[in-house]
Amino acid sequence: MPGAFPTFVAMATATRTPPSPGGQTTPRTSPRATPPPRPRRGGLLRTLWGSTLGKKAVMAVSGLVMLAYLVAHMLGNLKVFFGPADMNGYAHWLRTIGEPVLHHEWFLWGVRVVLLAAVVLHGVCAWQLSRRDLAARPVAYRHRRHRASYATRTMRWGGIILALFLVWHLLDLTTGTVNPRGQAEHPYENIVTGFGTWYTNVIYCVAMLAVGLHVQHGFWSAAQTLGVTRPGLARLCKGGATVLAVVLTAGFLSVPLGVMTGLVE
């Protein structure tokens, strides 16, 4: 830094003279007292990815993307109560959205790509942040005490359960690999056959309860991570989290319960 020394001398002298009115901003501290300017790394994305707050924001946004999809998915599922023609017709329509601008199934594949990105980002951030969190509290208290809510405490295990369920769910009703019937273009029949087996019901019901718990804490957390501070809006988000969780769980559970009770056959 050529010419740095005279500047520092001028700055040091300036501490003893009052700033001239209307003059330029006068450096007021001696160079020794001022810590060196911190190196600024990269842009927005690198800043976010490099910090715990930024990764939480990534988790919040990817979580909200998945949540929006879940709401649409749950509402679409309710078509099952209107019979095979409605359900299968709806499933077929999903593949034709955007035609003729988009090719057959392109919209669906677009959604799948976005969801895959959201799942991967959410999972990677959760993994990295959890490892950090566990390392930050290496010694547990001898006097144990559980204060946080059940939903808060089960976020990590709940997330793992949901990831495993996702694999099962895709193999069951998307590819039909583990579905007893697994016939493409016939989702209604696959659903009825699938929920005719006890293990599918157990897996599905456990996962849907996990979704409810995850959404209840997750939605409220996302709001705070993204900086919702206005008291009215914050209350709305907190209440909304519970409503969303209950509605989603009830809506999703209505399908296997409908099959089990014979309402859907």
Partner 1 sequence: MNLTLRIWRQPGAEAPGKMVTYKVEDISPDMSFLEMLDTLNETLTERGEEPVAFDHDCREGICGACGMVIDGRAHGPERTTTCQLHMRHFADGDTVDIEPWRAAAFPVVRDLVVDRSAFDRVVGAGGYITAPTGSAPEAHATAVPKPAADAAFAHAECIGCGACVAACPNGSAMLFTSAKVNHLNVLPQGAPERESRVLDMVEQMDVEGFGGCTLAGECATACPKGIPMPSIAAMNREYLRAAAKR
Crossing angle for the helix pair 198-225 and 155-169, to the nearest 10 degrees: 130
Q: Using CB under 8 A, which of the segments 45-53, 87-95, 201-209, 256-264 binds partner 1?
A: 45-53
Using the rule CB under 8 A, is 4 a contact of partner 1? no
Contact by Cβ (8 Å): 64, 214: no
Using the rule CB under 8 A, is 1 a contact of partner 1? no
Q: How far is the CB of 64 from partner 1 (least distance, A)?
A: 14
Alpha-carbon distance of 6 to 14, in angstroms, equals 12
Per-residue mark of binding to partner 1, 201-220 (x: CB under 8 A): ----------------x--x
Using the rule CB under 8 A, is 140 a contact of partner 1? yes
Number of H helices, E strands in the chain: 10, 0
Using the rule CB under 8 A, is 160 a contact of partner 1? no
Which residue, 10, 110, 12, is CA-closest to 69?
Answer: 110
Per-residue mark of binding to partner 1, 215-244 (x: CB under 8 A): --x--xx-xxxxxxx-x--x----------
Q: Using CB under 8 A, which of the segments 55-63, 175-183, 191-199, 200-208 binds partner 1?
A: 55-63
Angle at 56 between CA 132 and CA 248, to 5 degrees: 115
Provide the 10 A C-beta neighbour count for residue 126: 21
Using the rule CB under 8 A, is 124 a contact of partner 1? no
Using the rule CB under 8 A, is 148 a contact of partner 1? yes
Residue where the block lists tokens 């993307």: 65
Give the start-end residues of each E strand in 3-137.
none
Instruction: Pick one of 53, 75, 167, 202: the residue that binds partner 1 (CB under 8 A).
Output: 53
The one-letter amino acid code at 215 reads: V
Using the rule CB under 8 A, is 145 a contact of partner 1? yes
Alpha-carbon distance of 107 to 112, in angstroms, equals 9
Nearer to partner 1, 83 or 239 (CB): 239
Tokens of 172: 């069951």
Using the rule CB under 8 A, is 55 a contact of partner 1? yes
Tokens of 242: 């519970």
Nearer to partner 1, 186 or 238 (CB): 238
Q: How far is the CB of 36 from partner 1 (least distance, A)?
A: 12
Contact by Cβ (8 Å): 53, 132: no
Nearer to partner 1, 43 or 100 (CB): 43
Which residue, 28, 54, 29, is CA-closest to 41?
Answer: 54
Instruction: Pick one of 3, 4, 21, 40: the residue that binds partner 1 (CB under 8 A).
Output: 40
Using the rule CB under 8 A, is 3 a contact of partner 1? no
Q: What share of the chain is helix, strand, coil (3-state, %, to 5)?
A: 70, 0, 30
Residues that bind partner 1 (CB under 8 A): 15, 18-19, 28-29, 35, 38, 40, 43-44, 47-48, 51-57, 129, 132-145, 147-148, 152, 155, 217, 220-221, 223-229, 231, 234
